[in-house]
Amino acid sequence: MIIFKKAKPLTAYLLNLKKENKKIGFVPTMGALHEGHLSLLREASKNNDYTICSIFVNPTQFNNPEDFKHYPKTIEKDIEQLVLSGCKILFLPHLTEIYHRGYQKKHYNLGPIENILEGFYRPGHFQGVSEVVDRLMQIVSPHNLYLGQKDFQQCMVIKKLMELTGRENEIQLVVVPTLREKNGLAMSSRNLRLDQNEKELATSIYNELMAIKNRLTSSPFEQLKKTAVLNLENIGFQVDYFEIANRETLATANTPNEPLVALVAATLGKVRLIDNLILN
């Protein structure tokens, strides 16, 4: 695996590969890699000649400085896992490679999805995500971009970003299903910050999502959401939202006659977790 720390040589290297008609698949991450990330990398390796992973903990998408400060870092282990997974290129930039001198901050008109759910509880988060993904697309410009369904709203934001930046025909988005632990807990770098007891309690998020899926037609949605929130609160979660939404717009839904997704964000101890489940 080749590790690039600088943007320009990486762009030049990839340009040469593209001239040789090689397909490039890209998996952007913030490191602390787990099987979920590796499933994206495997998917990329199946359908591209070269797979590139980036590891960059982007400060501009953290609205909470404590979350940024404590974001797990396991770079040596990450590199080992990448080599084992067959990843050919790692981009490991310093902050100044992404936000270089003279870098002009942009504003992205992401529309209504920017300020609901994650956007409401993490003001500025999706501007930060858009900023870093826009920069990474300038540098890497892959044929295929791999994203996890685990960050459902983020996938929608990045789709919108591709339209806004005129890349929607150039770069194919591939959304990979959420990889879970055997007990249902969605894999996440932030799980490293949970102790054993919290890890077991955290499975309740998935259990509540499944309960909603199984009872979708048996109770009004307001009732289903209220029960899920109460159950999580009773075991010590602080719930930001538990929403049943239209899968295409993320607007609150009230009937099962539309494509639905349930989305949840809840904090246990000091760790904020998100998850979602397609309902129909």
Q: Any bridge partners for residue 180, and if so which? A: 186
Least Å distance, CB 230 to ligand AMP, is 26
Least Å distance, CB 269 to ligand AMP, is 19
266 binds ligand AMP, rule: CB under 6 A: no
Those residues with Cβ within 8 angstroms of residue 217's Cβ, 6 or more apart along the chain or in another chain: 256
29 binds ligand AMP, rule: CB under 6 A: yes
Output 208 or 224, the one with its CB closest to ligand AMP: 208
* Long-range contacts from 203-211, C-beta under 8 angstroms, 24+ separation: 204/231, 204/232, 204/235, 204/237, 205/232, 205/237, 205/264, 205/266, 205/273, 205/275, 206/180, 206/275, 206/277, 208/232, 208/242, 208/264, 209/262, 209/264, 209/275, 209/276, 209/277, 210/184, 210/277
- Listed ranges 13-21, 32-40, 65-73, 102-110: which one lies at the site for ligand AMP (CB under 6 A): 32-40
Residue written as tokens 């030049």? Answer: 12
Least Å distance, CB 74 to ligand AMP, is 11
Contact code string over 188-207 relative to ligand AMP, x by CB under 6 A: xx------------------
Least Å distance, CB 29 to ligand AMP, is 4
Is 37 catalytic? The answer is yes
Query: 207 to 226, contacts with ligand AMP by CB under 6 A?
Result: none
Task: Please state, as a whole number, how many other Cβ atoms lie within 10 Å of the Cβ of residue 127.
Answer: 18
Output 7 or 41, the one with its CB closest to ligand AMP: 41
147 binds ligand AMP, rule: CB under 6 A: yes
Query: 35 to 54, contacts with ligand AMP by CB under 6 A?
Result: 36-37, 39-40
Active-site residue identified among 37, 70, 94, 143: 37
- Listed ranges 92-100, 112-120, 143-151, 254-262: which one lies at the site for ligand AMP (CB under 6 A): 143-151
- Listed ranges 102-110, 163-171, 186-194, 213-221: which one lies at the site for ligand AMP (CB under 6 A): 186-194
30 binds ligand AMP, rule: CB under 6 A: yes
CA angle 66-71-74, nearest 5°?
Answer: 155
The Cα 153–Cα 117 span in angstroms is 8
- Listed ranges 85-93, 114-122, 187-195, 241-249: which one lies at the site for ligand AMP (CB under 6 A): 187-195
User: What's the order of all strands across the beta sheet hosting 24-29?
Assistant: 2-4, 89-91, 50-55, 24-29, 144-148, 172-176
Output 187 or 202, the one with its CB closest to ligand AMP: 187
Whole-angstrom CA distances from 72 to 41, 66, 83, 189 are: 20, 12, 20, 7
135 binds ligand AMP, rule: CB under 6 A: no
Task: Please state, as a whole number, how many other Cβ atoms lie within 10 Å of the Cβ of residue 112.
Answer: 10
Least Å distance, CB 41 to ligand AMP, is 9
The Cα 61–Cα 7 span in angstroms is 20
Residues that bind ligand AMP (CB under 6 A): 29-30, 36-37, 39-40, 147-148, 150-151, 176, 178-179, 186-189
Active-site residue list: 37
